[in-house]
Structure 1
Amino acid sequence: MTLFGMSIETIYLVLLIISGSLTILYLFFGDVLEGVGEATDFLNPVLILAFITFFSAGGYILEKATTLNSFLIMAIAAIVSALLDVLLNVFVLVPMKSAEQSLSYTEKSLEGRVGKAIISIPQQGFGEVVIESYSGMISKPAASFEDTPIPEGSEVLVIEVKNGVLYVMPYKPNFK
């Protein structure tokens, strides 16, 4: 089959090369187009480029390997590409988007959290506190907020964080 004066295999191959090149460029300069993906989820540039790449690769391979009708090959390639695109989105892109936010923390986000003193905190000195988070245990140096000693194993409340040091006081739950 010919389209625009070129064979369909050539069109698939050119489309594959162009979409592959655009994918590589998107890896390097993707932050420029990040706003498009945020505004509309269905126009995510990664998914569009992946669909075109899957479609052109599938069409090219089927044209070379089978003797099926070109319209049937286009339909098969489009269906398989849409399926692969959905799988890419559900199993790769969505988990990566949520993982970016859950693995990091800021020092400001530690304020108000309850932790446990693993090294006792002396008066006007430093100890160590661990705080459980979604990404694991966060261990930070700590000092007493009220300059009172805090024994090892005590639950503590983080009042503020300055220069990477947690300023804590013994935690007294209200509902016991």
Structure 2
Amino acid sequence: MELFGYDIQTIYLIGLVISGIGTLTFILFGDFLEGVFPDSFLSPTLIFSFLTLLSASGYIFEILLSFHSFLIFVISLVLALILVTLLNVFVLIPLSSAEESMVYREEDLKGRIGKVITSIPVDGFGEVLIEGVSGTIAKSAKSFNNEPISFDEKVLIIDSKEGVVYVLPYQNMKLKGGNEL
């Protein structure tokens, strides 16, 4: 079958090459494109995957099967839709939510225990290392009561404003049951 004066296999092959170039371009300039099209339902990743799968399956089916070209196009279209839906549901959505789980807010730091890695002078700044499940965070720190806090001392984070945590020296207090507080 011919379309626009070209064999249908040639059209599928050209579509595959163009979607491959688009995918490569998206890999290189993806951050810019996501800034241009923020939070759209049809992300460039889904569009390029759909076009690649449609073109590739159409080309392969045209070579292997002796069905009518319109039927091959419909089969390729349905296959591409199913595979892109599975890609979105089982890969892209879990990856996007996993990325968000690594993010923390300043409010989340309140009440956590850290260790001083750069001593905090009176009316000055130091640095505190906060360890957690998602990794280690180093933050600028200031004493909450304007008292010096020495290197390697445990501190309790009282507040966090504008990227600076306000800390107090942390003492292990025993509760009645013998557990540490």
The normalised TM-score by structure 1 is 0.70
Q: Percent identical across equivalent pairs?
A: 41
Correspondence 1:29-68 to 2 at 5 A: 29-35=29-35, 37-41=37-41, 43-68=42-67
CA contact (8 A) 1:20 1:53 kept: yes
Q: Aligned-pair distance for 1:20?
A: 0.7
The normalised TM-score by structure 2 is 0.68
More displaced 10-residue stretch of structure 1: 95-104 or 45-54: 95-104
Classify the secondary structure of the residue corresponding to 2:38: helix
Q: Residues 31, 129 of structure 1: CA spacing in aligned structure 2 closer, same or farther, 3 A cutoff?
A: closer
Classify the secondary structure of the residue corresponding to 1:158: strand
> One-letter code of the match for 2:83?
L
Q: Residues 117, 56 of structure 1: CA spacing in aligned structure 2 closer, same or farther, 3 A cutoff?
A: closer
Q: Aligned-pair distance for 1:66?
A: 1.6
| Cα-to-partner distance string for 1:47-76 (whole Å, 9 max, x where unaligned) | 111111100000001111121221221111
| Cα-to-partner distance string for 1:74-132 (whole Å, 9 max, x where unaligned) | 111111100111122122222332333332447xx26752223568xx99598966453
Q: Aligned-pair distance for 1:141?
A: 8.3
Q: Residues 36, 92 of structure 1: CA spacing in aligned structure 2 closer, same or farther, 3 A cutoff?
A: farther
Correspondence 1:110-121 to 2 at 5 A: 113-116=110-113
Equivalent residue, structure 2, for 1:9: 9
Equivalent residue, structure 2, for 1:25: 25
Correspondence 1:30-109 to 2 at 5 A: 30-35=30-35, 37-41=37-41, 43-105=42-104, 109=106
Classify the secondary structure of the residue corresponding to 2:112: strand
Structure 2, unaligned runs of 5 or more: 171-181
